[in-house]
Chains A and B, each alone.
Chain A
Amino acid sequence: MQPVRAEALEELRHQVAQIEASVPTLAGAGHSVRLGIPAIDTALGGGLPVAAVHELAPALPIHSGAAQGFAVALAAQSRGSVLWIETDFTRMENGAPYGPGLALSGLALDRLVLLTVPRSIDVLWAMEEALRSRAVTTVIGEVPNDHTLDDGPATRRLSLTARDSGGFGLLLRQRPSPAASAAATRWQVAAAPGAQDQFGGLGRTTFVLSLTKNRHGPCGHWLIAWDHHDRVFQEALSVSVAEAARDRPDRARLARTG
């Protein structure tokens, strides 16, 4: 196909889509990934916007499993193929994405393409290309804990690409960064002690979600649980909160004033 004709075709597709009053993106620009928890969805203005880049980071390094679980849960909610980009370093540090576990979380293996790149700067390149190509709807990029992302243009480029193509980009950091970012939202994810299930085993996975940046609304702090069976998020009551209530000192600390 000649490039000129490809552009013309793209233009015509766009016109057709406008006639049909929908934007021709696979995931659909303006669509959003709902977490299913009214409080969070309201704060996000209806859900996590799809044509954007979001940043996830574990609150502490030991919570990396939780952060990845949250990313997988979000990716599983979108339709279409998922490209998971990791570096040689993160693969060694955090392990490789494990198929059966991903399938259990709702991310079927035939939707997943894995890419391992040698350097962290390559993650950004691959992520941008993948977002632009529209071949995949969701791109998860794992960035090692270096200063690759600390310059503003890196995330801004990704955000613009995602906005234009309608791709859903998830940047998975290894720890929260104080540097500025152009991502639509930034999350800190931590695991929380969950309740035991009815058989005395491990129950639903509990996450402490901190929304530290939200371009379209307020930030917040929530405790939610992931139901593996129904594959939905639910509101959770923290075990530690209950314990804290039981064990707390008899007098609450005085609030300082002035």
Chain B
Amino acid sequence: MWLRRLATDRIARASLAPADTPLIIVAPIKSALRITALNDAAARLRLKPGLALADARAMYPSLAVEHADPDADQRLLDAIADWCDRYTPLVGLAPPDGLAFDITGCAHLFGGERAFCRDLVTRLAAQGFATHVAAADTLGCAFAAAHFGDAEVCLVPPDEMRAMLAPLPLAALRLAPEIVDALAQVGLKYIGDVLERPRAPFAARFGVEFIRRIDQALGHEDEPIKPRLPVPTALVERRFADPIALEADVLGTIDQLARDLDRLLERRGEGARLLQVALFRADGAVHRIELGTSAPVRDPARVRRLFADRLAVLGDSCDPGFGFDMLRLSALVTERLDPSQTSFATPDQNAELAHLIDRLGARFGLRRVTRLVPLDTHIPEFTVAAVPAHAPRSPASGEGMPAYDSLVTARPIRLFDHPEHIDAIAEVPDGPPVRFRWRHVLHEVARSEGPERIAMEWWRDEHGNVLTRDYFRVESRQGTRAWLYREGLFGRETAQPRWFLHGLFA
């Protein structure tokens, strides 16, 4: 599909000027402002891209002129591609102003290829975009037909590709401009001129790229469409003649879709690890809600619950506007899920826990649901790592903490992410503290244990200036137990050791 007048349509959509006002878009090229795009009215005035703005102004002083904004064009193209997702999940960008669809197996849903293309052109025209759509067996051929064919809709049957391509200029093959120029210099202007000639001299003179483009257009060489978004392994969708806006309706639809998806995945013996609901708003905006799960899921009730939780959080950020006219549920990542027998006596603990983690993750974000996994280091803050609970457990983490006995040093039950600086006084520079002030409260130390000297791992710090810590377990006169440390060995590493409170004991 080619959006013929993307840049000018973008501005015309936002302006109130009549559609037949000549409009040109200019950008600085070769040290002059030159026309890069123009609308139909301007084209009728025989203006052409590449013409300097000064010349154009001299010819038509009343021209409307805008500066080029490639980023805005790109964003608009993305939005259109989003909207086009309703036709096929496999939409690719063909910058700067084209889109490529893989419509294999889905054109019949719209009443055949012609009706499909016609529908696309009409709907986009209603939104104010002039488009040329071509359907062909190869991307190259469709590109040529859309850009250089005369009709808005152009269908190229497989056996007519050669005939269709022959009269088109060589630029239709998506060649670099300098190759087109070089070919023109030797008198080759149309694709038909090169199709019948021997290929080897062309390859030698103009590069393999040239030959490859010809092969791609004719289907001798495969050219896949690069999808913009990951292509789901399974998807189900519902379209509505009348857009729906109520949350209950959306959830009801997700419920139905989840049942369809369940049947689809059950046949394959798979469950979804990553689910996405795409809500296509009637005015073209698309909301996508993604959900990861800790174990493969296909139970419709669970899928529905997960999205219900997610929607509850999204709230207003998922604005229905004038309603959604299509919902699509897709499984982006799937894994093998063998049917298991449900026990009659007790519910399956692990499955229940996985589902709870998924639900909490759906509401608060999966990064907020964690498990603690021991690591092989003696630095207190790194001894355990919080890993997302939905991640599959590695074999090492199954061991849990090593068995604790009375010989193991005590550790606090709470640890501050950032050790809190305290003012502490010790009788001797490297002795235990006798009193300390934490959060404006003075604590008299009644009893203390330590020091437990923990040297930092020198390889963690590239400058090597990591200070050793002397940890003390102290109990205040009120009975509060805290884990303090002095940073830096007195006299050897620092002259002024600082004290920190790192954790609290029960």
Contacts and interface: CB of A to CB of B under 8 A. Distances in A.
Do A and B pair up? The answer is: yes
Interface of A: 1-3, 6, 9, 12-13, 16, 24, 26, 62-66, 68-70, 72-73, 80-81, 83, 91-92, 94-105, 108-110, 112-118, 122, 125-126, 129-130, 133-136, 190-194, 196, 201-202, 205-206, 226, 228-229
Contact of B301 (A6, A26, A99, A134): A6
A99 B447 contact: no
A135 B345 contact: no
Nearest to B309: A129
30 contacts: A12-B344, A16-B344, A26-B346, A62-B443, A95-B417, A95-B503, A97-B413, A100-B374, A100-B383, A100-B384, A101-B410, A102-B372, A103-B400, A103-B404, A109-B371, A109-B384, A113-B357, A113-B370, A116-B364, A117-B368, A125-B363, A126-B360, A133-B359, A135-B349, A135-B353, A135-B356, A191-B481, A194-B475, A205-B481, A226-B506
Nearest to A16: B345
A73 B413 CA distance: 11
B392 interface: no
B504 A94 contact: yes
Contact of A65 (B301, B353, B449, B505): B505
Contacts of A100: 374, 383-384, 401, 411
Contact of B504 (A64, A113, A193, A206): A64
B379 to A, nearest CB: 12
Contacts of B299: 1
A101 B356 contact: no
Contacts of B448: 202
Interface centre among A92, A117, A118 (most CB of B within 10 A): A117
B372 to A, nearest CB: 4
Contacts of B389: 113-114
B446 interface: yes
Given A96-B415, A110-B400, A115-B360, 16 more contacts: A63-B479, A65-B412, A68-B504, A94-B414, A95-B415, A95-B417, A98-B411, A102-B372, A104-B410, A109-B372, A109-B400, A113-B369, A113-B370, A114-B371, A191-B479, A193-B478
A54 to B, nearest CB: 17
A16 B363 CA distance: 34
B441 A103 contact: no
B417 A96 contact: yes
B479 A193 contact: yes
A69 B357 contact: no
Q: Which 6 A-B pairs have the closest CB atoms?
A: A69-B506, A65-B504, A191-B479, A99-B384, A135-B352, A98-B415
B459 interface: no
Given A126-B360, A206-B479, A109 B401 contact: yes
A63 B504 CA distance: 10
Contacts of B449: 201-202
B358 to A, nearest CB: 10
Interface in B4-61: none
A66 B506 contact: yes
Contact of B411 (A104, A129, A133): A104
Contact of A193 (B344, B477, B506): B477
B318 interface: no
B477 to A, nearest CB: 6
A254 to B, nearest CB: 29
Interface centre among B352, B373, B475 (most CB of A within 10 A): B475
A99 B404 CA distance: 12
A201 B447 contact: yes
A16 B368 CA distance: 38
B479 A136 contact: no
Contact of A112 (B371, B416, B417, B505): B371
Given A65-B506, A226-B506, A133 B475 contact: no
A102 B355 CA distance: 25
Contacts of B300: 2
A117 B414 CA distance: 17
B415 A193 contact: no
Contacts of B347: 13, 134
A99 B300 CA distance: 36
B85 to A, nearest CB: 31
